[in-house]
Amino acid sequence: MATRLENHGHPPGTTVMDKNGDVLFELGSEDLTAHLLVSSKVLSLASSVFSAMFTHGFSEGEGLSSKSPRVIPLPDDDPPAMALLCHILHFRTSSIPMERDIAALAELAILCDKYDCAGPVKPWGLLWTAEWLPHAGSEGFEKLLFVTYGLDLPEAFAKVTKALVDNHPGPLKFDASPGYEMLPDGLTDEIESKRNDLLKSLLRAFDATITPFVAASNVICIRQVVGLFYYNLSTVGLWPLSKKLDEIPVPEIKQKVSQLVAPVPTCTNRVYCICTKGYTVVSDIKRILQEKIDDAINNTTGLCLDCVRAGRGSGEHQSCRLSHT
């Protein structure tokens, strides 16, 4: 419930966003409390939720005055995230950090979703997420899904979902994470479906590379090539193939493939034998496999934020901000 601050002073430790502020946010609960002196006008311009709170009949909006700021408790909001949000909305750029950790970004995104004010935060969101996008293997990276969704960053959202497809074996679990509830139903299933499609493409890449030799396995040296191919997969930790592909992030799969030794048969006929003529030169097996793997990875894209919000498949897009081509 909102109360009136009866004197002209502010509680100790109050962060003044606007010296003429007419609202005093009270953050936290019990022993951990912070205060922010803010402008209802500024917040109303930035947020439809704050606008309704301050102007459309909510009790908090009655009789707002800078001479006697109204105290509004916000016990459920993360204090550092709310302070950062208010710094941004009040254009206090000197107080805005150039870097933010993923957990802090997730808390900020939750507030932007709650108060419908992602627009003014977008430029900062682009700056902060760009720092983390190259670190898909970092602990907590999956929280960037909340961040890019809550801050409405379509390009970053596509990159994050692509990175999760490539780097997150197994199911995504967010049930206990703050912010999970803002994500639409089925989003994690769609990411896992993309991951499964990529795994199928990677399996086809391995199969397509060795199939020409399997088809000619009536030749003794080619039998050796086929056997050595699968043996070498085992030596680099890629066997059994389907199980390992399911367990290993894509960058690690590529790294293991780079360690493969090209199978060399014990053939003495270097002129007419199929191991050096015909379908594929044996020494090219590794290169061809790497090219097919790269094609499979590059043909797998992230998700379109506009399509996700609209609840439609990526092939049904109308006027998405991010090109599907």
pLDDT above 70 for 156 = yes
Residue 299 φ/ψ, nearest 5 degrees:
-85, -5
What pLDDT score does 112 carry?
96
What pLDDT score does 4 carry?
52
Secondary structure of 7-64 as H, E, C letters = CCCCCCCCEECCCCCCEEEEEEECCEEEEEEECHHHHHHHCHHHHHHHHCCCHHHCCC
Instruction: Quote the CA–CA distance of 9 and 67 in Å, as a whole number.
Output: 10
> What's the predicted TM-score (pTM) here?
0.86
Instruction: Quote the CA–CA distance of 190 and 158 in Å, as a whole number.
Output: 13
Tens of pLDDT, residue by residue over 70-88, are 889 999 999 999 999 999 9
Average pLDDT on 47-67 reads: 76
How many degrees, rounded to 5, is the angle at CA 73 between CA 69 and CA 74?
A: 125
pLDDT above 80 for 43 = yes
pLDDT above 50 for 279 = no
Distance of alpha carbon 244 from its chain centroid, rounded?
A: 24
Tens of pLDDT, residue by residue over 289-310, are 999 999 999 999 999 999 999 9
Q: At what angle do helices 250-258 and 154-167 cross, to 10 degrees?
A: 50
Banded model confidence at residue 151, pLDDT cuts 50, 70, 90: very high
Average pLDDT on 318-324 reads: 85
Summary count for the chain: helices (H), strands (E): 13, 5
Cβ pair 187, 161 in contact under 8 A: no
C-alpha distance across the termini of the chain, in Å: 51
What pLDDT score does 278 carry?
47
pLDDT above 90 for 196 = yes
Q: Which of 176, 181, 98, 105 is nearest to 147 (CA)?
A: 105
Within 10 Å of residue 33's Cβ, how many Cβ atoms?
14
Q: What percent of the chain has pLDDT over 90?
A: 63
Tens of pLDDT, residue by residue over 203-223, are 999 999 999 888 776 677 778
**Residue 99 or 137, more confident:** 99
Banded model confidence at residue 140, pLDDT cuts 50, 70, 90: confident
Residues facing 71 on adjacent strands: 3, 24
Banded model confidence at residue 56, pLDDT cuts 50, 70, 90: low
Mean pLDDT, the chain, rounded, equals: 87
Average pLDDT on 117-130 reads: 97
What pLDDT score does 243 carry?
96
Q: Label residue 37 exposed, middle or buried (CB < 10 Å: 0-12, 13-18, 19+).
A: buried
